[in-house]
Amino acid sequence: AQKKNEKGNSIQAGAYTLKKEMSAESAVALMLDPASQANLIIPEGKRNAWVYEQIDTRLGLDPGSTKEIAVSKADSLGLPDWAKNHKNVKDPLEGFLFPASYPVAKGSKPEEALKKMVSRANQEYTKLDLEGKAKAHGLENAWELVTVASLVQAEGKTHDDFRKMAEVIYNRLQPDNTETNRKLQFDSALNYLKGQSEIKISENEANTNQDPYNTYTQVGLPPGPISNPGVEALAAMLDPTKDGWMYFVATDGMSKTEFAKTYAEFEKLKDKFNANTN
């Protein structure tokens, strides 16, 4: 039946939702229908909250079910030792639901999907030797490298931005940084804290909220990753530019990020942003 169907060779490995006692011909046709394909595709940069919602929907579970399992069983889902027991972390699996395609079929359990995602993240992070490369980037451990990659992913608008964004982070973390006094001042971290995605952040909130994830008031990196970084953000995190970038602004409020080396240049970019976004 597969050979008789002209698109039969395009069937991909994965989980499919079929019907009992259907003919082979009908089964092949249904496997070629996107509606029956049970694979969940996680795009780069999605937060865990989005992934949990997708799993709940696909498995017909009450909202919040997968998140509850993820948090309560985090230590049994395959996290490496270096990803455990970090203070003030809001979600212990954030950064470990690796962007890829996974089988999530009705009848399966959330734990099965989560374990596959964590396992894939482990493979990718081991391949990059994050534990061995942290010190070379002035960081304490692999956990901090994943956190940097998640920030790069969240703040970069295009793949060309990623290496510059990584440099901004490393430059701001330097002990001799008197420009921002080792504060990252990233909207994305505050947005993560609030579970939102706003382009304009209230200055009052940014400067008063004392949560560990608010990089406007707290020095250094947030307690953990704020998204699930993809391959390109991870590569940029390990190979930043070395041009002196210290500031950036999404000047059109949408997809164009411009970088600056001095505060004066940054002010000009802010003016451009304000003009473009009224």
Q: How many residues does the chain have?
A: 278
Closest CA to 153 of 47, 253, 40, 260: 47
Report the 10 Å Cβ neighbour count for 41: 11
Give the gyration radius of the chain's Cα atoms.
Answer: 21
Which tokens in the block code for residue 54?
Answer: 């997708």
What are the beta bridge partners of residue 260? Answer: 247
CA distance 71 to 1: 44
Could you give the 3-state DSSP secondary structure of residue 205?
A: helix
Q: Alpha helix (H) ranges present in the chain?
A: 24-31, 48-59, 65-72, 110-127, 130-133, 142-155, 161-173, 187-194, 203-208, 231-238, 263-276
Determine the pLDDT at residue 185.
Answer: 96
Decide: 207 and 106 in contact? Cβ < 8 Å: no
CA distance 278 to 271: 10
What are the beta bridge partners of residue 259? Answer: 248
Q: Model-level pTM?
A: 0.87
Determine the pLDDT at residue 17.
Answer: 76
Determine the pLDDT at residue 231.
Answer: 95
Could you give the 3-state DSSP secondary structure of residue 39?
A: strand
CA distance 266 to 168: 13
Q: Are strands 257-260 and 247-250 parallel, antiparallel or unpaired?
A: antiparallel
Determine the pLDDT at residue 114.
Answer: 98
CA distance 90 to 105: 28
Decide: 195 and 269 in contact? Cβ < 8 Å: no
DSSP string, 59-105: HTPPTTHHHHHHHHTGGGTT--GGGSS-TT-S-TTTT-S-SSEEE--
DSSP string, 11-26: PPSS-B---TT--HHH
Report the 10 Å Cβ neighbour count for 231: 14
DSSP one-letter code for 259: E
Determine the pLDDT at residue 224.
Answer: 98
One digit per residue, the tens of pLDDT, for the chain of length 278 reads 999 998 888 887 667 778 889 999 999 998 888 766 678 889 999 999 999 999 999 999 999 999 999 999 999 999 999 999 999 999 999 999 999 989 888 889 999 999 999 999 999 999 999 999 999 999 999 999 999 999 999 999 888 899 999 999 999 999 999 999 999 999 999 999 999 988 778 889 899 999 999 999 999 999 999 999 999 999 999 999 999 999 999 888 677 899 999 999 999 998 998 888 77
Determine the pLDDT at residue 118.
Answer: 98
CA distances from 186 to 4, 56, 60, 151 (A): 55, 30, 36, 8
